[in-house]
Amino acid sequence: MSLQVRTRFAPSPTGYMHIGNLRTAIYEYLIAKVNHGKFILRIEDTDQERLVEGATEAIFKVLQMVGIQPDEGPGIGGAYGPYVQSERKGTYAPFAQQLVSAGKAYYCFCDKERLGVLKEKAEACGEVFVYDRHCANLSEEEVKAQFDAGTPYIIRQKMPLAGSTTFVDAVFGEITVENSALEDQVLMKTDGFPTYNFANVVDDHLMAVTHVVRGSEYLSSTPKYNLLYEAFGWEIPTYVHLPLIVKTDGSKISKRSGDASFEDLVEMGFLVEAIVNYIVLLGWSPETNQEIFSLKDLESVFSISRISKSPSAFDLAKLRWFNAEYLRQLPLEQFHALATPFYSGLEAFDQLKISKILQPRTEVLNEIPQKIDFFEQLPDYDLELYVHKKMKTTLEISLENLKLGLPAIQAIQQWDEQTIHDTLIGLAERLEIKNGQMLWPIRTAISGKDVTPGGAIELIEILGKAETIARMEDGINRLTTQLNQ
Protein backbone atom coordinates (compact mmCIF):
# COMPACT_ATOMS: atom_id res chain seq x y z
CA MET A 1 0.00 0.00 0.00
CA SER A 2 1.47 3.37 -1.05
CA LEU A 3 2.04 6.15 1.46
CA GLN A 4 -0.69 8.80 1.52
CA VAL A 5 0.49 12.10 0.05
CA ARG A 6 0.51 14.84 2.70
CA THR A 7 1.48 18.42 1.90
CA ARG A 8 1.57 21.40 4.20
CA PHE A 9 1.32 25.15 3.81
CA ALA A 10 3.35 26.62 6.67
CA PRO A 11 3.31 30.43 6.48
CA SER A 12 4.79 32.75 9.07
CA PRO A 13 2.29 35.41 10.23
CA THR A 14 4.71 38.25 9.59
CA GLY A 15 2.76 40.25 7.00
CA TYR A 16 0.53 40.13 3.99
CA MET A 17 0.02 37.15 1.67
CA HIS A 18 2.19 37.87 -1.36
CA ILE A 19 1.75 36.24 -4.74
CA GLY A 20 4.58 33.74 -4.26
CA ASN A 21 3.15 32.54 -0.93
CA LEU A 22 -0.28 32.09 -2.43
CA ARG A 23 1.09 30.14 -5.39
CA THR A 24 2.94 27.82 -3.00
CA ALA A 25 -0.28 27.22 -1.06
CA ILE A 26 -2.25 26.50 -4.23
CA TYR A 27 0.39 24.10 -5.60
CA GLU A 28 0.58 22.25 -2.29
CA TYR A 29 -3.19 21.98 -2.19
CA LEU A 30 -3.32 20.70 -5.77
CA ILE A 31 -0.53 18.15 -5.25
CA ALA A 32 -2.49 16.77 -2.32
CA LYS A 33 -5.83 16.73 -4.13
CA VAL A 34 -4.63 15.24 -7.41
CA ASN A 35 -3.10 12.40 -5.37
CA HIS A 36 -6.15 12.00 -3.10
CA GLY A 37 -3.99 13.10 -0.17
CA LYS A 38 -4.23 15.60 2.67
CA PHE A 39 -3.45 19.33 2.70
CA ILE A 40 -2.33 20.70 6.07
CA LEU A 41 -2.19 24.29 7.31
CA ARG A 42 0.48 24.99 9.92
CA ILE A 43 1.22 28.42 11.36
CA GLU A 44 4.95 28.91 11.92
CA ASP A 45 5.19 31.67 14.51
CA THR A 46 8.54 30.83 16.11
CA ASP A 47 10.00 34.22 15.19
CA GLN A 48 8.06 36.09 17.85
CA GLU A 49 9.76 39.44 17.17
CA ARG A 50 8.45 39.59 13.60
CA LEU A 51 4.85 38.64 14.26
CA VAL A 52 2.29 41.06 12.82
CA GLU A 53 -1.06 41.47 14.52
CA GLY A 54 -3.88 40.15 12.36
CA ALA A 55 -1.55 38.28 9.98
CA THR A 56 -2.75 34.83 11.07
CA GLU A 57 -6.37 35.85 10.48
CA ALA A 58 -5.36 37.20 7.07
CA ILE A 59 -3.91 33.79 6.12
CA PHE A 60 -7.18 32.05 6.99
CA LYS A 61 -9.14 34.71 5.12
CA VAL A 62 -7.10 34.39 1.92
CA LEU A 63 -7.32 30.59 1.84
CA GLN A 64 -11.06 30.82 2.35
CA MET A 65 -11.37 33.42 -0.42
CA VAL A 66 -9.56 31.24 -2.96
CA GLY A 67 -11.59 28.16 -2.03
CA ILE A 68 -8.89 26.16 -0.28
CA GLN A 69 -10.11 24.20 2.73
CA PRO A 70 -7.29 22.53 4.70
CA ASP A 71 -7.89 18.95 5.79
CA GLU A 72 -6.01 19.61 9.04
CA GLY A 73 -4.96 22.78 10.79
CA PRO A 74 -5.71 25.37 13.48
CA GLY A 75 -9.40 25.43 14.28
CA ILE A 76 -9.90 22.33 12.14
CA GLY A 77 -8.05 19.73 14.15
CA GLY A 78 -6.35 16.54 13.08
CA ALA A 79 -4.27 13.71 14.49
CA TYR A 80 -1.01 15.69 14.47
CA GLY A 81 -1.99 18.89 16.27
CA PRO A 82 -1.55 21.43 17.58
CA TYR A 83 -0.90 23.14 14.25
CA VAL A 84 0.52 26.43 15.60
CA GLN A 85 4.22 26.16 16.40
CA SER A 86 4.12 28.41 19.45
CA GLU A 87 1.65 25.91 20.93
CA ARG A 88 4.19 23.16 20.27
CA LYS A 89 7.05 24.96 22.00
CA GLY A 90 7.95 22.04 24.27
CA THR A 91 8.23 19.67 21.31
CA TYR A 92 11.54 20.83 19.88
CA ALA A 93 14.09 21.04 22.71
CA PRO A 94 14.22 17.25 23.31
CA PHE A 95 15.04 16.71 19.64
CA ALA A 96 17.77 19.33 19.78
CA GLN A 97 19.18 17.71 22.94
CA GLN A 98 19.15 14.38 21.11
CA LEU A 99 21.35 15.87 18.38
CA VAL A 100 23.73 17.33 20.98
CA SER A 101 24.07 13.92 22.61
CA ALA A 102 24.79 12.38 19.21
CA GLY A 103 27.48 14.97 18.42
CA LYS A 104 25.39 16.42 15.59
CA ALA A 105 24.75 19.71 17.40
CA TYR A 106 26.36 21.79 20.17
CA TYR A 107 25.70 24.51 22.71
CA CYS A 108 26.88 27.94 21.62
CA PHE A 109 27.45 30.60 24.28
CA CYS A 110 28.69 33.39 22.00
CA ASP A 111 26.93 36.66 22.77
CA LYS A 112 25.61 39.23 20.31
CA GLU A 113 28.64 41.45 20.80
CA ARG A 114 31.11 38.76 19.74
CA LEU A 115 28.98 37.75 16.76
CA GLY A 116 28.64 41.41 15.79
CA VAL A 117 32.41 41.87 15.74
CA LEU A 118 32.83 38.76 13.58
CA LYS A 119 30.20 40.02 11.18
CA GLU A 120 31.82 43.45 10.90
CA LYS A 121 35.21 41.87 10.15
CA ALA A 122 33.71 39.65 7.45
CA GLU A 123 31.91 42.59 5.83
CA ALA A 124 35.07 44.70 5.95
CA CYS A 125 36.82 42.00 3.94
CA GLY A 126 33.91 41.73 1.53
CA GLU A 127 33.07 38.25 2.78
CA VAL A 128 29.80 36.65 3.80
CA PHE A 129 29.64 36.19 7.56
CA VAL A 130 29.89 32.55 8.65
CA TYR A 131 30.04 31.55 12.31
CA ASP A 132 33.59 30.48 13.22
CA ARG A 133 32.56 27.40 15.29
CA HIS A 134 34.10 28.92 18.42
CA CYS A 135 31.91 26.73 20.64
CA ALA A 136 31.82 23.64 18.46
CA ASN A 137 34.39 21.68 20.45
CA LEU A 138 33.90 22.83 24.03
CA SER A 139 34.58 20.14 26.61
CA GLU A 140 31.85 18.88 28.93
CA GLU A 141 33.52 20.79 31.76
CA GLU A 142 33.49 24.04 29.78
CA VAL A 143 29.84 23.58 28.86
CA LYS A 144 28.94 22.81 32.49
CA ALA A 145 30.77 25.91 33.67
CA GLN A 146 28.77 28.07 31.29
CA PHE A 147 25.53 26.45 32.43
CA ASP A 148 26.46 26.97 36.08
CA ALA A 149 27.19 30.62 35.36
CA GLY A 150 23.74 31.00 33.79
CA THR A 151 25.18 32.05 30.43
CA PRO A 152 22.47 32.28 27.74
CA TYR A 153 22.99 29.81 24.93
CA ILE A 154 21.67 28.61 21.61
CA ILE A 155 22.01 25.20 19.99
CA ARG A 156 23.72 24.99 16.62
CA GLN A 157 23.71 22.18 14.09
CA LYS A 158 27.20 20.78 13.55
CA MET A 159 27.82 20.62 9.83
CA PRO A 160 30.36 18.32 8.18
CA LEU A 161 33.38 20.31 7.01
CA ALA A 162 34.37 18.07 4.11
CA GLY A 163 32.59 16.36 1.24
CA SER A 164 29.28 17.31 -0.30
CA THR A 165 25.58 16.70 0.14
CA THR A 166 23.43 15.67 -2.81
CA PHE A 167 19.67 15.59 -3.01
CA VAL A 168 17.04 15.19 -5.71
CA ASP A 169 14.37 17.79 -6.31
CA ALA A 170 11.22 16.92 -8.27
CA VAL A 171 11.60 20.07 -10.40
CA PHE A 172 15.32 20.88 -10.53
CA GLY A 173 16.67 17.34 -10.47
CA GLU A 174 19.89 16.38 -8.71
CA ILE A 175 21.56 19.16 -6.72
CA THR A 176 24.96 18.92 -5.02
CA VAL A 177 26.20 21.43 -2.43
CA GLU A 178 29.68 21.46 -0.91
CA ASN A 179 29.45 20.96 2.85
CA SER A 180 32.09 23.62 3.39
CA ALA A 181 29.50 26.16 2.21
CA LEU A 182 27.04 25.20 4.94
CA GLU A 183 27.03 27.29 8.11
CA ASP A 184 26.38 25.76 11.51
CA GLN A 185 22.78 26.92 11.60
CA VAL A 186 20.95 27.75 14.82
CA LEU A 187 18.39 25.14 15.89
CA MET A 188 17.21 26.53 19.24
CA LYS A 189 17.25 30.20 20.25
CA THR A 190 17.90 31.70 23.67
CA ASP A 191 14.17 32.33 24.16
CA GLY A 192 13.52 28.60 24.05
CA PHE A 193 11.89 28.76 20.62
CA PRO A 194 13.20 26.70 17.72
CA THR A 195 14.35 28.43 14.56
CA TYR A 196 12.16 28.24 11.49
CA ASN A 197 14.47 25.71 9.81
CA PHE A 198 14.59 23.32 12.76
CA ALA A 199 10.90 23.45 13.66
CA ASN A 200 10.13 22.94 10.00
CA VAL A 201 11.96 19.64 9.83
CA VAL A 202 10.69 18.33 13.17
CA ASP A 203 7.09 19.20 12.42
CA ASP A 204 7.20 17.88 8.87
CA HIS A 205 8.40 14.55 10.24
CA LEU A 206 5.94 14.41 13.13
CA MET A 207 3.06 15.38 10.83
CA ALA A 208 4.03 12.73 8.25
CA VAL A 209 4.49 15.30 5.48
CA THR A 210 5.52 13.55 2.26
CA HIS A 211 6.01 16.51 -0.08
CA VAL A 212 7.76 19.75 0.88
CA VAL A 213 6.85 22.51 -1.59
CA ARG A 214 8.64 25.86 -1.42
CA GLY A 215 10.41 28.51 -3.47
CA SER A 216 13.66 27.80 -5.30
CA GLU A 217 15.44 30.31 -3.05
CA TYR A 218 15.48 27.48 -0.47
CA LEU A 219 17.39 25.07 -2.72
CA SER A 220 20.73 25.94 -1.13
CA SER A 221 19.29 25.36 2.35
CA THR A 222 17.97 21.90 1.59
CA PRO A 223 21.20 20.03 2.48
CA LYS A 224 20.86 21.46 6.01
CA TYR A 225 17.41 19.94 6.24
CA ASN A 226 18.60 16.62 4.85
CA LEU A 227 21.46 16.43 7.31
CA LEU A 228 18.90 16.84 10.09
CA TYR A 229 16.71 14.08 8.65
CA GLU A 230 19.74 11.81 8.39
CA ALA A 231 20.92 12.66 11.91
CA PHE A 232 17.57 11.53 13.27
CA GLY A 233 17.30 8.57 10.91
CA TRP A 234 14.07 9.95 9.46
CA GLU A 235 12.80 9.45 5.90
CA ILE A 236 13.49 12.45 3.66
CA PRO A 237 10.39 13.89 1.97
CA THR A 238 9.97 14.64 -1.72
CA TYR A 239 11.19 18.16 -2.44
CA VAL A 240 9.32 20.35 -4.91
CA HIS A 241 11.09 23.70 -5.35
CA LEU A 242 9.18 26.30 -7.34
CA PRO A 243 10.63 28.83 -9.79
CA LEU A 244 10.77 32.45 -8.76
CA ILE A 245 8.01 34.89 -9.63
CA VAL A 246 9.54 38.17 -10.81
CA LYS A 247 8.37 41.42 -12.34
CA THR A 248 8.36 41.84 -16.11
CA ASP A 249 11.75 43.58 -15.87
CA GLY A 250 13.19 40.58 -14.02
CA SER A 251 13.38 42.28 -10.62
CA LYS A 252 12.04 40.79 -7.41
CA ILE A 253 8.42 41.34 -6.40
CA SER A 254 8.10 43.03 -3.01
CA LYS A 255 5.47 44.91 -1.05
CA ARG A 256 8.10 47.53 -0.20
CA SER A 257 8.42 48.33 -3.90
CA GLY A 258 4.68 48.85 -4.16
CA ASP A 259 3.87 45.49 -5.73
CA ALA A 260 0.37 44.25 -5.06
CA SER A 261 -0.49 41.47 -2.63
CA PHE A 262 -3.36 39.07 -3.28
CA GLU A 263 -5.77 41.19 -1.26
CA ASP A 264 -4.55 44.33 -3.03
CA LEU A 265 -5.47 42.74 -6.36
CA VAL A 266 -8.93 41.86 -5.07
CA GLU A 267 -9.40 45.44 -3.87
CA MET A 268 -8.32 46.63 -7.32
CA GLY A 269 -11.30 44.78 -8.79
CA PHE A 270 -9.77 41.51 -9.95
CA LEU A 271 -11.88 38.39 -9.45
CA VAL A 272 -10.48 35.80 -7.06
CA GLU A 273 -11.00 33.05 -9.63
CA ALA A 274 -9.04 34.96 -12.28
CA ILE A 275 -6.17 35.67 -9.88
CA VAL A 276 -5.94 32.00 -8.88
CA ASN A 277 -6.06 30.87 -12.51
CA TYR A 278 -3.29 33.25 -13.50
CA ILE A 279 -1.07 32.51 -10.50
CA VAL A 280 -1.23 28.75 -11.14
CA LEU A 281 0.11 29.33 -14.66
CA LEU A 282 3.11 31.25 -13.28
CA GLY A 283 5.44 28.27 -13.26
CA TRP A 284 3.11 25.48 -14.40
CA SER A 285 1.75 24.61 -17.81
CA PRO A 286 -0.98 22.15 -18.80
CA GLU A 287 -0.52 19.47 -21.43
CA THR A 288 -3.00 21.27 -23.72
CA ASN A 289 -3.38 24.88 -24.87
CA GLN A 290 -6.18 25.45 -22.38
CA GLU A 291 -5.68 28.58 -20.27
CA ILE A 292 -8.90 28.97 -18.31
CA PHE A 293 -9.06 26.63 -15.30
CA SER A 294 -11.19 26.63 -12.19
CA LEU A 295 -9.63 25.35 -8.98
CA LYS A 296 -11.84 22.27 -9.34
CA ASP A 297 -10.50 21.67 -12.87
CA LEU A 298 -6.94 21.87 -11.59
CA GLU A 299 -7.58 19.29 -8.87
CA SER A 300 -7.66 16.63 -11.58
CA VAL A 301 -5.07 17.87 -14.10
CA PHE A 302 -2.26 19.42 -12.04
CA SER A 303 1.06 17.56 -12.12
CA ILE A 304 4.48 18.20 -10.63
CA SER A 305 6.12 17.14 -13.88
CA ARG A 306 4.71 20.23 -15.64
CA ILE A 307 6.30 22.72 -13.20
CA SER A 308 8.96 24.84 -14.88
CA LYS A 309 12.49 25.59 -13.64
CA SER A 310 12.50 29.06 -15.19
CA PRO A 311 11.37 32.20 -13.36
CA SER A 312 7.91 33.46 -14.30
CA ALA A 313 7.07 37.11 -14.83
CA PHE A 314 4.00 38.52 -13.12
CA ASP A 315 2.39 40.59 -15.87
CA LEU A 316 -0.53 42.74 -14.78
CA ALA A 317 -1.66 43.08 -18.40
CA LYS A 318 -1.98 39.30 -18.68
CA LEU A 319 -3.92 39.19 -15.41
CA ARG A 320 -6.26 41.84 -16.84
CA TRP A 321 -6.86 39.58 -19.83
CA PHE A 322 -7.72 36.66 -17.55
CA ASN A 323 -10.02 38.87 -15.50
CA ALA A 324 -11.83 40.14 -18.60
CA GLU A 325 -12.35 36.56 -19.79
CA TYR A 326 -13.86 35.60 -16.44
CA LEU A 327 -16.13 38.65 -16.40
CA ARG A 328 -17.41 37.94 -19.92
CA GLN A 329 -18.23 34.34 -19.04
CA LEU A 330 -20.43 35.30 -16.09
CA PRO A 331 -24.23 35.24 -16.44
CA LEU A 332 -25.43 38.83 -16.88
CA GLU A 333 -27.22 38.75 -13.52
CA GLN A 334 -24.01 37.72 -11.76
CA PHE A 335 -21.95 40.42 -13.48
CA HIS A 336 -24.69 42.92 -12.61
CA ALA A 337 -24.44 41.98 -8.93
CA LEU A 338 -20.66 42.59 -9.00
CA ALA A 339 -20.98 45.86 -10.92
CA THR A 340 -23.91 47.44 -9.06
CA PRO A 341 -21.80 48.67 -6.07
CA PHE A 342 -19.99 50.94 -8.56
CA TYR A 343 -23.22 52.57 -9.86
CA SER A 344 -23.46 55.40 -7.35
CA GLY A 345 -25.58 58.26 -8.70
CA LEU A 346 -27.17 56.23 -11.50
CA GLU A 347 -30.46 55.43 -9.78
CA ALA A 348 -32.41 57.21 -12.54
CA PHE A 349 -31.19 54.83 -15.23
CA ASP A 350 -31.85 51.18 -16.08
CA GLN A 351 -28.79 49.73 -14.38
CA LEU A 352 -29.23 46.25 -15.83
CA LYS A 353 -28.87 47.77 -19.31
CA ILE A 354 -25.73 49.55 -18.16
CA SER A 355 -24.36 46.19 -16.99
CA LYS A 356 -25.25 44.65 -20.35
CA ILE A 357 -23.08 47.13 -22.27
CA LEU A 358 -20.32 47.12 -19.64
CA GLN A 359 -19.81 43.36 -19.35
CA PRO A 360 -18.03 42.74 -22.68
CA ARG A 361 -15.97 45.91 -22.24
CA THR A 362 -14.78 45.62 -18.64
CA GLU A 363 -11.41 44.21 -17.60
CA VAL A 364 -11.27 45.26 -13.94
CA LEU A 365 -14.27 46.11 -11.76
CA ASN A 366 -12.72 49.15 -10.09
CA GLU A 367 -12.48 50.89 -13.47
CA ILE A 368 -16.27 50.87 -13.90
CA PRO A 369 -16.89 54.32 -12.33
CA GLN A 370 -14.63 56.11 -14.80
CA LYS A 371 -16.28 54.27 -17.70
CA ILE A 372 -19.82 55.36 -16.78
CA ASP A 373 -19.41 58.68 -14.96
CA PHE A 374 -20.86 60.51 -17.99
CA PHE A 375 -24.30 59.02 -17.33
CA GLU A 376 -24.62 61.04 -14.14
CA GLN A 377 -23.08 64.21 -15.53
CA LEU A 378 -21.72 65.20 -18.93
CA PRO A 379 -18.02 66.08 -18.56
CA ASP A 380 -16.51 69.29 -19.91
CA TYR A 381 -15.00 67.69 -22.99
CA ASP A 382 -12.62 68.87 -25.73
CA LEU A 383 -14.46 69.62 -28.99
CA GLU A 384 -11.65 67.94 -30.92
CA LEU A 385 -13.35 64.66 -29.93
CA TYR A 386 -15.80 65.38 -32.74
CA VAL A 387 -12.94 65.08 -35.25
CA HIS A 388 -12.41 61.45 -36.26
CA LYS A 389 -10.36 60.47 -39.32
CA LYS A 390 -11.82 57.00 -39.68
CA MET A 391 -15.39 58.29 -39.39
CA LYS A 392 -14.44 61.22 -41.67
CA THR A 393 -15.94 63.75 -39.31
CA THR A 394 -14.87 67.37 -38.82
CA LEU A 395 -16.30 70.02 -36.52
CA GLU A 396 -18.45 71.26 -39.41
CA ILE A 397 -19.71 67.80 -40.40
CA SER A 398 -20.43 66.93 -36.77
CA LEU A 399 -22.45 70.11 -36.27
CA GLU A 400 -24.45 69.53 -39.45
CA ASN A 401 -25.28 65.92 -38.58
CA LEU A 402 -26.18 66.75 -34.97
CA LYS A 403 -28.65 69.34 -36.31
CA LEU A 404 -30.12 66.72 -38.69
CA GLY A 405 -30.19 64.00 -36.04
CA LEU A 406 -31.86 66.07 -33.34
CA PRO A 407 -35.35 66.33 -34.93
CA ALA A 408 -35.20 62.63 -35.80
CA ILE A 409 -34.58 61.82 -32.12
CA GLN A 410 -37.32 64.27 -31.05
CA ALA A 411 -39.80 62.54 -33.33
CA ILE A 412 -39.31 59.05 -31.89
CA GLN A 413 -42.46 57.87 -30.10
CA GLN A 414 -41.52 54.33 -29.06
CA TRP A 415 -38.28 54.61 -27.06
CA ASP A 416 -36.36 51.35 -27.51
CA GLU A 417 -33.04 50.31 -29.00
CA GLN A 418 -34.49 48.92 -32.24
CA THR A 419 -36.53 52.05 -32.99
CA ILE A 420 -33.57 54.32 -32.22
CA HIS A 421 -31.37 52.17 -34.47
CA ASP A 422 -33.83 52.19 -37.38
CA THR A 423 -34.37 55.95 -37.04
CA LEU A 424 -30.69 56.97 -37.10
CA ILE A 425 -29.43 54.37 -39.57
CA GLY A 426 -32.37 55.16 -41.85
CA LEU A 427 -31.50 58.86 -41.63
CA ALA A 428 -27.87 58.15 -42.57
CA GLU A 429 -29.05 56.13 -45.58
CA ARG A 430 -31.31 58.95 -46.77
CA LEU A 431 -28.50 61.47 -46.38
CA GLU A 432 -26.16 59.04 -48.18
CA ILE A 433 -23.53 59.28 -45.47
CA LYS A 434 -21.73 56.57 -43.50
CA ASN A 435 -23.39 55.45 -40.29
CA GLY A 436 -20.35 56.61 -38.32
CA GLN A 437 -20.74 60.18 -39.59
CA MET A 438 -24.13 60.30 -37.92
CA LEU A 439 -23.43 58.22 -34.83
CA TRP A 440 -19.97 59.52 -33.86
CA PRO A 441 -21.06 63.13 -33.31
CA ILE A 442 -24.12 61.98 -31.36
CA ARG A 443 -22.09 59.64 -29.16
CA THR A 444 -19.59 62.43 -28.50
CA ALA A 445 -22.34 64.90 -27.63
CA ILE A 446 -24.11 62.58 -25.19
CA SER A 447 -21.00 61.15 -23.50
CA GLY A 448 -18.17 63.65 -23.86
CA LYS A 449 -15.78 60.69 -24.17
CA ASP A 450 -13.79 59.11 -26.98
CA VAL A 451 -14.24 55.62 -25.49
CA THR A 452 -17.54 54.44 -24.04
CA PRO A 453 -19.07 51.13 -22.98
CA GLY A 454 -21.51 50.73 -25.84
CA GLY A 455 -22.23 52.68 -28.97
CA ALA A 456 -24.41 55.71 -29.57
CA ILE A 457 -27.66 53.78 -29.96
CA GLU A 458 -27.21 51.83 -26.71
CA LEU A 459 -26.28 54.99 -24.80
CA ILE A 460 -29.21 56.93 -26.22
CA GLU A 461 -31.68 54.31 -25.03
CA ILE A 462 -30.23 54.24 -21.50
CA LEU A 463 -29.99 58.04 -21.17
CA GLY A 464 -33.61 58.48 -22.21
CA LYS A 465 -35.21 60.87 -24.65
CA ALA A 466 -35.14 64.09 -22.63
CA GLU A 467 -31.51 63.72 -21.52
CA THR A 468 -30.36 62.73 -25.02
CA ILE A 469 -32.05 65.74 -26.57
CA ALA A 470 -30.61 68.09 -23.95
CA ARG A 471 -27.08 66.80 -24.52
CA MET A 472 -27.38 66.95 -28.30
CA GLU A 473 -28.58 70.54 -28.03
CA ASP A 474 -25.64 71.28 -25.76
CA GLY A 475 -23.30 69.77 -28.37
CA ILE A 476 -24.84 71.89 -31.10
CA ASN A 477 -24.40 75.03 -29.01
CA ARG A 478 -20.77 74.21 -28.20
CA LEU A 479 -19.89 73.53 -31.85
CA THR A 480 -21.76 76.60 -33.09
CA THR A 481 -19.93 78.83 -30.62
CA GLN A 482 -16.57 77.33 -31.56
CA LEU A 483 -17.09 77.66 -35.31
CA ASN A 484 -18.38 81.24 -35.04
CA GLN A 485 -15.26 82.43 -33.25
Q: Which residues are catalytic?
A: 255
What are phi and psi for residue 192, nearest 5 degrees? 85, -5
Largest interatomic CA distance in the chain = 109
What are phi and psi for residue 302, nearest 5 degrees? -65, 140
Taking the C-alpha atoms of residue 448 and residue 371, their distance in angstroms, rounded to an integer, is: 11
Residue 79 class from Cβ within 10 Å (0-12 exposed, 13-18 middle, 19+ buried)? Answer: exposed
User: Helices in 194-331 by DSSP H: which ranges?
Assistant: 196-206, 222-232, 262-267, 272-280, 295-301, 316-329
The secondary element (H helix, E strand) that includes residue 10 is: none
What is the torsion angle, in degrees rounded to the nearest 10, for the CA atoms of residue 84, residue 90, residue 96 and residue 97?
Answer: -170
Residue 149 class from Cβ within 10 Å (0-12 exposed, 13-18 middle, 19+ buried)? Answer: exposed
User: Helices in 302-358 by DSSP H: which ranges?
Assistant: 316-329, 332-339, 351-358
The secondary element (H helix, E strand) that includes residue 103 is: none
